[in-house]
Amino acid sequence: MIFSVLKNIIKRPFYSLYEKRMEQVSKQWDLPSHIGIILDGNRRWAKIKGLSKVIDGHARGADKLEEVLDWCYESGIEIVTIWIFSTENFSRPQEEVDELLELIEARIRDLEKSPTVHSRELNVGFIGRIELLPDSLQEAIEQLKKSTANYNKHKLNVAIAYGGREEIVDGVRCCISESLEGGKDIDTILEELDHHAIDKHMYLTDSPEPDLIIRTSGEIRLSGFLLWQSAYSEYYFCDTFWPQFRKIDYLRALRSYDQRQRRYGK
């Protein structure tokens, strides 16, 4: 234990120098315009740290999110999409779900009052089956959307009560419903149905597809995150739990993106 602590103390200044060097070099990289982030590992981090309640891990993860968003906007990233609560998360123990949704609501209300949000001209949007959320949370979401609706310098998309398969189902349903309301018969609808028609009804119609998707905690899968939009995205998987995500981890993700040769299926 003592050896581990001493090792970390010795390594700290070297990591600081490495981080500063990476920051300087990153100004020459080809950076993504749109980053998607799967914030994974809050619960496991809380258990490893011996915290009495899982919600404490989520709270630390929410603090980390503010920090990471600062890094993104300082780097010149225009759009960030984060996944904070999936449709599958509703199946977790009810106490944990209630506490997590209460935490999310509190942080959303804080964002609405945040001077940084307004000085940064951050437009905040939400994607997912919002109607499944508690009324008070839906109200907080609408208030934040309304107060940032006229901003266009930076964009933050928050995926909540979100599932990639559900999004595709919703998109197809909306596409077919619109065609039926327009008087088209089912044979015509099926004949004209293609990915362009469906794309107009997906959740992120006002944002370009993500260039880079980052997932923390060592899981090497998307778990349904932006399934439709991520066909040509680059992926970066990080072993670090979300609450421990460091700026050096973020910079490594950007470096990895810069080193990729994007082919878009060609």
Which of 241, 229, 97, 245 lies closest to 157 in space, CA to CA? 229
The model's confidence at residue 5, banded by pLDDT at 50, 70 and 90, is: very low
Which residues fall within 8 angstroms of residue 69, CB to CB, at 6 or more apart? Answer: 80, 156
Residue 132: give its domain's CATH number.
3.40.1180.10
Catalytic residue among 42, 70, 89, 249: 89
pTM: 0.92
Tally the domains of the chain: 1
Domain that holds residue 175: 32-258
Is residue 11 in some structural domain?
no
Region 34-54 average pLDDT:
95
pLDDT at 3 over 80: no
Whether residue 206 lies in the annotated active site: no
Over the chain, what is the mean pLDDT?
A: 93
Q: What is the largest CA-CA distance in the chain?
A: 74
Residue owning tokens 């080193």:
259
Active site residue 157: no
Residue 15 domain flag: no
In a domain, 117, yes or no: yes
Domain-located, residue 2: no
Q: How far apart are CA 40 and CA 85, in angstroms?
A: 10
C-alpha span between 32 and 19 (Å, rounded): 19
Q: Tell me if 200 is assigned to some domain.
A: yes
Q: How many CB atoms lie within 10 A of CB 255?
A: 14
**How confident is the model at residue 83, as a pLDDT?**
98
